[in-house]
Amino acid sequence: MSDMTGRIKILQYAHLPEPIQAGLDGLFDVTRMPESEAEHMAFLGEYGSQFRGICVRHAHIDAAMLDLMPNLEVISSYSAGLDGIDIDAARARGIAIYNTSEILAEDVADLALVLALSVTRGTIRGHDFVRTGEWERSTFPLGRSIRSLNTGVVGLGHIGASVARRFAAMGAPLAYYGPRKKPADYRYFDKVEDLAEWADLLIVTCPATDETYRMINAAVLQKLGPGGFLVNVSRGTVVDETALIATLAADGIAGAALDVFEAEPQVPAALRSDARVVLSPHMGSGTTETRNQMGEQMIQALVAFFSERGDEARLQA
């Protein structure tokens, strides 16, 4: 657990691409969190006081864990989401938090567009229609045109703004919901239910917080209506999956395209078996280029943080 060079000790709570791992190891004294969650508290009880920083991705860090790391100064996340981290507890302890939402926004927005086209035009079903030979016996049903669909974006942060630019370029009427109005040339709704009632296509891009937990519920889906489509590229917990399944079973919306799920990688059978639902395995930022950039920014955030505190020499030790 000790590094005789005196380098800054970092707890690694993430699986990283090889070049990013090499970069992190070259700058810091890195210790990896045990794989078994059952070992985490005992591990932190013994070694937690040594760590000044954490690099993390989709991991759980609560107040009790932070209590066992009294010298922790910074958390750098290899993702946009911070939903596994008790942010209030970290900030109360003066711990800085960084993420990589800006970098991954463009790739996530690309996937949102792909999913929207897939669910509204039926491209996955069309693929199967040809592959199974059904095209020789019948005619494939018509889809919907994106530019004819009122498109509502839930959350106009980095990802939501990138999504909006793509759909605006395609000629879709655009509006958005968020906790506050932003300086954007799109119609603003201050209630998500009102946005859903206006929209034909509802794209969820907001972060997972206590306020957004299951925000897309039965009432919102009812407002979206039988001709409406739902796309979720944010976090699975933002959509009430039970309500979504019930709404689909009642033909309450026309279809859904989902990159994220409440208990991923477990996905309810009702969603997996529904031809109106397009599924992808939480791959919004899943390109080589973006994942490498995310890792580089995660490391750079740690380097900048400690450099500002006069620790540059220890980064080179």
Catalytic residue status for 241: no
- What is the dihedral sign for C-alpha 199, 201, 203, 209? positive
Q: Which of 235, 241, 291, 314 is catalytic?
A: 235
DSSP conformation letters of 271-310: HHT-TTEEE--S-TT-SHHHHHHHHHHHHHHHHHHHHHTT
Paired tokens of 308: 């500002």
CA distance readout (Å), 204 to 74, 121, 168, 241: 29, 19, 16, 14
Q: What's the CA gap between 56 and 12, in Å, rounded?
A: 6
> How many other C-beta atoms lie within 10 A of the C-beta of residue 77?
27
- The answer to whether 59 and 14 have CB atoms below 8 angstroms apart is yes
Please name the residue that has the structure tokens 């190891």: 25
DSSP bridge partners of 258: 232, 279
Q: Which of 134, 193, 262, 264 is catalytic?
A: 264
Q: Which residues contact 295 (CB under 8 A, 6 or more apart)?
A: 16, 17, 19, 20, 23, 78
Catalytic residue status for 131: no
Torsion of CA 195, 201, 203, 209, to 10 degrees: 40
Q: Which residues contact 236 (CB under 8 A, 6 or more apart)?
A: 258, 260, 261, 262, 263, 264
Q: Which of 93, 276, 282, 296 is catalytic?
A: 282
DSSP, collapsed to helix, strand or coil, labels residue 168 as helix
Catalytic residue status for 276: no
Paired tokens of 153: 């974006």
Residues tagged active-site: 235, 264, 282
